[in-house]
Amino acid sequence: MGNVRFIKANDNKGRKAIPTAVYPKLINAAGGYTSPPALVQDAAFPMANALLPDRISQIWSTGPSPVSNSGGADIWFDIDLGSAQSISTAGVLGFSLIPGGAPFPASCQVFYASSYNGTFGSSPVPASFTLARDVGMIFTSPTSISARYWRFSFSNATSGNGFTLGSFYLGSSFTDLGFLYAGATETIIQPRSLVEGYGAAPTITRTGLTYRRFTFNYQNIEKTVRDTFDSLLAEPYPFVYIDPFDVPWEVVPDEEFARDHVWALPNLYTFNFGMRSLP
């Protein structure tokens, strides 16, 4: 079980901290790069949207053709961070399959390089992860990798109908509270409409995607930890929470953050901090 860890907007090098930022930059089909891969996209939902700080500005690949590599197996997102960044975790946010056809893609593999010539020869360990709505990995050996160029390779592009994607994350550092939380509540919420009638079975309609609500319970906490949660409330965009099982969640905090304060040195606080994952 890990500590309470967050990746703030400025520490996520896999998407822009603000929409007008130059980096990260999508290399696909761009000038100034040696042998960049092709763009694989629907014109209304370009691949570059995956670098925006917006889960709604999705890319949308409607099918496997054209593919990005010569073998016809994968779709590549090649990303230029602008300079070498020390990265310790990587993943995908807001992923979903397009209905119909075979499951595509099934997994994603992450590669890195210090210089760019259209090929990548190295990958973190573990090298790949099975895709889910929000998913990723924390590097274990080594625990951090310094590189400017990164590739997210989505597998098995020769089958299926394509996929949607919100954004990437490449975490340069964690906001780590350094200790296990004293207690937490995790609630799974399934939006639905329930219609009940006399003498008939109820009609249940799912009205949205499942999401989770997290509430952390802290007792007698010093001001420095309270200030960390204050800084999360000030984040301009949703941030990434990594749970004790190393699973990432793109989250927003609750609108209120109340705490009990002992008005005497060393100024201790007791509070519940709530946030919810994005569907």
Q: What are the residue boundaries of the structural domains of the chain, listed by start?
A: 5-172, 183-277
pLDDT (average), residues 6-19: 91
pLDDT at 2: 58
pLDDT at 66: 45
The yes-or-no verdict on residue 65 having pLDDT over 70 is no
- Per-residue pLDDT of 177-221, as tens digits, reads 766 656 788 999 998 888 887 777 888 888 888 999 999 988 888
pLDDT at 44: 81
pLDDT (average), residues 27-52: 88
pLDDT (average), residues 253-274: 92
Q: Which pTM value belongs to this model? A: 0.88
Residue 229's Cβ-count burial label (10 Å; 0-12, 13-18, 19+) is: buried
Query: How big is the chain by its Cα radius of gyration, in Å?
Result: 21
pLDDT at 73: 60
- Per-residue pLDDT of 215-250, as tens digits, reads 998 888 899 889 999 999 988 889 999 988 889 999
Q: Which CATH number fits domain 5-172: 2.40.50.140, 3.40.50.970, 1.10.1740.10, 2.60.120.260?
A: 2.60.120.260
Please tell me the distance from the alpha carbon of residue 111 to that of residue 206, in angstroms, as a whole number. Answer: 38
The yes-or-no verdict on residue 113 having pLDDT over 90 is yes
Instruction: Give Cβ neighbours of residue 122 (< 8 Å, ≥ 6 apart).
Output: 111, 112, 113
Mean pLDDT, the chain, integer: 85
pLDDT at 170: 96
The yes-or-no verdict on residue 9 having pLDDT over 80 is yes
More confident residue, 155 or 118: 118
Between 25-29, 153-157, 171-175, 242-246, the lowest mean confidence (pLDDT) is in 153-157
Q: 219 is written with which tokens?
A: 């007792």
pLDDT (average), residues 91-117: 83
The yes-or-no verdict on residue 128 having pLDDT over 90 is no
